[in-house]
Amino acid sequence: MFLLALTGLSAVAQKTGPAQTSKPVAWPDPLVLESGAPVLTRERFEQQRRGELLSLFAENVYGKTPQATVPIAIVAAKVDEHALDGLAVRKQITLAVGSKGERTWHLLLYTPAHATGPVSVIVGLNFNGNQTVDPDPEIELNPVWVRDPALASTPLAKELSGHVLKIAESGTRGAAAQQWQLHLLLARGYGLATLYAGDIEPDFIGGIGYGVRPLLFGPKQSVPAADDWGAIGAWAWGMSRVVDVLSSDPHIDAKRLIAFGFSRFGKTALWAAAQDQRFALVLSNESGQGGATLSHRQEGEPIDHMMLAFPYWFCGNYQHYLGRTQSLPVDGHLLLSLIAPRPLYVGSAGSDPYSDPEGEFLAVKAVAPVYALYGEQGVTDTAMPPLNHPVGQWVSYHVRPGGHDVTLYDWEQYLNFADRVLGNK
């Protein structure tokens, strides 16, 4: 395999920036086939390299998405055309998943009430239930997975702990409202479709038994194969099933759907959009290792940490690279390459060293040659931008002050970008 040698760039000037590296790093080249042949045209990228990259990520990181399908049916839909004091139309859609309706998903959809035509909708998964995205008292309190109270005094990360399923508490309404900025999205003409990730697969070790993956096991199968999809693969698949539902709604512009994700769901959004080109734009917020940043730098969160703490996110084959990061045949810039030629925005935070902001910026820069094949300009700035200084046109990047979060500033940049590239005025 040919390698692309690049050098770490200058640090963010402000003291809130992460520690930087200046050592040379070798990364797989997005425009060189596994055979060593160069990719010089968009046709060759589409016909050969895209398939190679999808296979490499499926085999080594996220696992293979099953080709089989399961039935998904709308079994209930509750509509309020005057939600949020007339600002929005709110739809709460209950989906039965599986041939016998074994799983139940709860899709929450808001669209601007005064839209004059089909609207662009942002699709993203939430961490702790639909009721957390806004204080709206009419959002249904559905079941969510919470840490087993019997383990409250046990010093375990919640993902390693046992969990119980219970109806969400009313006190959690709007708990993550800042991260979603629903009223801003609606005022700017965008809709929001969100689904509790725990409906697709609970986010803890052992969650697989309650999720969608066993519904797609082969005959007599009881555990995942080494290259079967992990939770990120299942969540990404779930985002595509949301697209299936939205595409039949005449109030939604199915050609302007936006994949959004923060943290582990930033990884999810990238993998969903890599496989499903119905997503017209991708917003990756601090997706870090296993997402937009560069594992071969070995900065920020080690992939070894993810393998040990969150093994269920990935396929079993990912464990082969425990302590062998440099042997991993893919990296974040190759994942971003799979978004081309669609517009892409990556957001970082200066005080979030685990997500490796500089690595995310370098990955964004590294996909410029891929976008150039399509006549689109990537980020060409040689130095990492200062805080609060977005760069790029069709591919964009910013790093802001603060830590691991989604803020009003992030959403303002994402919506300005979407306005420009999707023509949503």
Contact status, residue 105 vs residue 199, Cβ threshold 8 Å: yes
Taking CA atoms, 363 is separated from 28, 171, 337, 377, in Å, by: 11, 40, 9, 15
Q: 234 — phi, psi (to 5°)? A: -65, -45
CA–CA distance, 119 with 260 (Å, rounded to integer): 16
Q: State the residue for tokens 């601090």.
A: 286
CA–CA distance, 29 with 38 (Å, rounded to integer): 9
CB atoms within 10 A of CB 394: 21
Taking CA atoms, 355 is separated from 118, 301, 423, in Å, by: 36, 7, 31
Q: Which active-site residues does the annotation give? A: 263, 404
Cis peptide before 353 (omega within 30 of 0): no
Q: State the residue for tokens 């990061």.
A: 325
Burial class (CB in 10 A: 0-12, 13-18, 19+), 76: exposed
CA–CA distance, 372 with 142 (Å, rounded to integer): 46
| Ordered DSSP codes for 139-152 | S---EEEEE-GGGT
CA–CA distance, 190 with 192 (Å, rounded to integer): 7
Beta pairing partners, 220: none
CA–CA distance, 286 with 295 (Å, rounded to integer): 14
